[in-house]
């Protein structure tokens, strides 16, 4: 039953014949797990909270970075360095005190995915990498949960609903991941700040429709949106009956072709013995100007012509913002710099 205070908060929903008291009570009873509290996760979480979804789980092991503030609108400058999941929940509790938040200050992994998914009715994927997308899909299929998908790239976005009433899955649309590095992440190529707000709102909309059981769900359909042209299209796709998912992949990094570096070092450990290493910064010029931890600077795209300039008299710690480009640099340099110890700076310099 809705309290009088809840009836006031949700009055505009109650006025809609398609929702009313019955629909709002469905929202109150629903349990939704949101994977990622970043660009997509912020609007997803805000609108699900405002709509009155009773229990919301937030899975994110990351902390707020100053570069997030351009698009991750749940956070402020005072949140930099703090847990995203915790900061998001604190803000959202101020928006709606009638929602219960379960915080998982960790990343989604093969070890926790099935247990987490089994506790919720719907999974919403707000992740930003292919490894997590395939993991979300496979875990949703195995636990028989609908998966609300969204992705962004520069000025373009995609939205779909997978595994809805045993409908098509992410693997029906994308059977295999793209070759590693062929689709750069936002941290590598950038993104229009408002785009995740648009796409995340679409994801929240699909989630509410599923809970209330109204409208036409984007199952077997892929919605694409271009923020520059404002073109929006919906493409239909069918279920691949031959695609059977009965277990999780052993390693989604390997499945998605992410380079497996032999050695990594944390920034804390590096600082304890930094004189023992040569440093190589593979970020862009403008990133280097903002901040750096020293060493040579050769952008990733220039390595093929400038690798011979790299100092090799000590082990080389290669760094970037998040640890992604440095892994790709090591993948290339292993074939060109012989008998040189190459070490990746884990998670970059942030």
How far does the chain reach from its first CA to its final CA, in angstroms?
46
CB 237 within 8 A of CB 220: yes
In angstroms, the CA 120 to CA 115 distance is 10
320 is catalytic: yes
- Burial (0-12, 13-18, 19+ Cβ within 10 Å), 167: middle
Residue 142 to residues 114, 235, 295: CA-CA distances in angstroms? 8, 26, 47
Which DSSP symbol is given to 247?
S
Q: Which of 42, 136, 256, 320 is catalytic?
A: 320
Contact in structure between 139 and 248 (CB atoms under 8 Å):
yes
CA nearest to 13, candidates 3, 25, 26, 24: 24
Q: Which DSSP string corresponds to 66-104?
A: GGGGGT-TT--GGGTTSBHHHHHHHHHHHH-TT-EEEEE
Q: Catalytic: which of 42, 87, 136, 186?
A: 186
Question: Which residues are annotated as catalytic?
Answer: 186, 320
């Amino acid at each position: 039953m809705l309290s009088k205070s809840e009836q006031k908060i949700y009055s505009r929903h109650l006025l809609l014949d398609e929702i009313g008291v019955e629909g709002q009570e469905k929202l109150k009873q629903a349990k939704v797990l949101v994977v990622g509290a970043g660009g997509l996760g912020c609007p997803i979480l805000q609108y699900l909270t405002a709509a009155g979804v009773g229990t919301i789980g937030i899975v994110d092991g990351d902390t707020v970075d100053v570069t997030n503030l351009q698009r991750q609108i749940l956070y402020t400058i005072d949140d930099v360095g703090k847990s995203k999941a915790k900061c998001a929940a604190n803000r959202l509790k101020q928006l709606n005190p009638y929602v219960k938040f379960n915080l998982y200050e960790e990343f989604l992994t093969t070890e926790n995915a099935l247990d987490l998914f089994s506790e919720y009715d719907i999974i919403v994927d707000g992740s930003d990498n292919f490894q997590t997308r395939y993991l979300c899909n496979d875990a949703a299929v195995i636990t028989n949960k609908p998966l609300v998908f969204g992705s962004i790239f520069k000025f373009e976005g995609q939205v779909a609903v997978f595994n809805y009433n045993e409908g098509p899955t992410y693997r029906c649309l994308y059977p295999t991941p793209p070759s590693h590095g062929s689709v750069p992440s936002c941290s590598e190529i950038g993104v229009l700040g408002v785009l995740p707000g648009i796409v995340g709102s679409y994801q929240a909309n699909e989630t509410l429709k599923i809970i209330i059981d109204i409208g036409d769900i984007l199952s077997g359909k892929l919605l694409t949106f271009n923020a520059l042209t404002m073109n929006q299209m919906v493409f239909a796709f069918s279920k691949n009956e031959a695609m059977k998912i009965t277990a999780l992949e052993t390693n989604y990094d390997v499945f998605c072709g992410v380079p497996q570096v032999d050695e990594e070092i944390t920034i804390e450990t590096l600082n304890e013995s930094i004189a023992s290493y040569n440093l190589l910064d593979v970020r862009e010029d403008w990133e280097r100007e903002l901040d750096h931890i020293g060493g040579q600077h050769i952008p990733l795209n220039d390595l093929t012509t400038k690798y011979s300039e790299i100092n090799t008299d000590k082990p080389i710690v290669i760094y970037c913002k998040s640890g992604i480009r440095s892994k790709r640099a090591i993948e290339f340099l292993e074939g060109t710099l012989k008998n040189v110890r190459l070490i990746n700076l884990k998670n970059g310099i942030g």
